[in-house]
């Protein structure tokens, strides 16, 4: 059975102890100071207002043994141009079935239900992608060693805010390219659907 790990496990273990219990103190956006976690008294709402910046990191790591490591990692940095509406830069690195992909580009994201700790969101992206097929199996290697192409993406997910400025997110991401960049079920395809878990930091 494959073991599925998320890159957020360690960060999450560090965040959870700091968020246990409820506080009566005023809200804070400091990454190190305590902040109330209950919204029942109206002390705080998630930091998703115009002018806020966001840094996110997420993905999955999957392996059967250390010689068969696969991963999909993604980072982004964005600015909120309106309450709940974000634009920014994004990039990803992945290795699936010996196909390596690197992408970089722009994204937009809109957040709903912003008065709750649970915040659904949708997103879209346009990136430049590079696929490296140098180590792919001979059965499907009748192609160039690499290919570059535009990649379009869509995302649907939800965030849970531990503090006004720290959230964990889960999402389903769909990527499509005019060229075959992705290895899916031992075949090269022009589209891939991926599950992501990540941490979001706001300031």
Q: Give pLDDT, residue 193.
A: 84
pTM: 0.72
Q: Is the pLDDT assigned to residue 3 strictly greater than 70?
A: no
Q: Please, which residues have CB within 8 angstroms of residue 18's CB and are 6 or more apart in sequence?
A: 34, 162
Q: Give pLDDT, residue 32.
A: 42
d(CA 119, CA 135): 40
Q: Give pLDDT, residue 5.
A: 40
For 43-84, what is each residue's pLDDT tens digit? 788 999 999 999 999 987 766 555 566 778 899 999 999 999
Q: Is the pLDDT assigned to residue 195 strictly greater than 70?
A: yes
Mean pLDDT calculated for residue range 13-32: 40
For 127-177, what is each residue's pLDDT tens digit? 998 877 665 554 444 555 667 789 899 999 999 999 999 999 999 999 888
Q: Give pLDDT, residue 189.
A: 74
Q: What is the CATH number of the domain that holds 83?
A: 2.40.160.20
For 79-108, what is each residue's pLDDT tens digit? 999 999 999 999 998 776 667 788 999 999
Q: Give pLDDT, residue 7.
A: 39
Q: Give pLDDT, residue 37.
A: 46
d(CA 110, CA 87): 9
Number of domains in the chain: 1
In the numeric block, which tokens belong to residue 179?
């060229």
d(CA 36, CA 44): 7
Q: Give pLDDT, residue 94.
A: 78
Quote the domain boundaries for residue 74: 3-202
Q: Round the CA-based radius of gyration of the chain to a whole number and report it.
A: 19
């Amino acid at each position: 059975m494959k073991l599925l790990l998320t890159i957020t496990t360690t960060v999450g273990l560090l965040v959870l102890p700091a968020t246990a219990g409820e506080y009566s103190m005023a809200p804070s956006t400091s990454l190190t100071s305590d902040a109330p976690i209950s919204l029942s008294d109206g002390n705080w709402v998630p930091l998703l207002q115009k002018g806020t910046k966001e840094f996110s990191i997420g993905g999955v790591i999957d392996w059967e043994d250390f010689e068969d490591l696969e991963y999909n990692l993604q980072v982004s940095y964005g600015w909120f141009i309106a309450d709940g509406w974000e634009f920014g830069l994004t990039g990803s690195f992945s290795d699936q079935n010996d196909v390596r992909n690197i992408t970089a580009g722009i994204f937009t994201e809109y957040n709903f239900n912003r008065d709750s700790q649970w915040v659904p969101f949708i997103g879209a992206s346009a990136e430049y992608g590079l696929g490296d097929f140098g180590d792919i199996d001979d059965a499907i290697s009748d192609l160039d060693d690499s290919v570059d192409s535009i990649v379009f993406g869509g995302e649907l997910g939800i965030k849970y805010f531990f503090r006004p400025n720290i959230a964990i997110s889960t999402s389903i991401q769909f990527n499509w390219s005019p060229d075959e960049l992705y290895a899916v079920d031992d075949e090269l395809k022009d589209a891939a659907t991926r599950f992501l878990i990540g941490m979001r930091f706001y300031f």
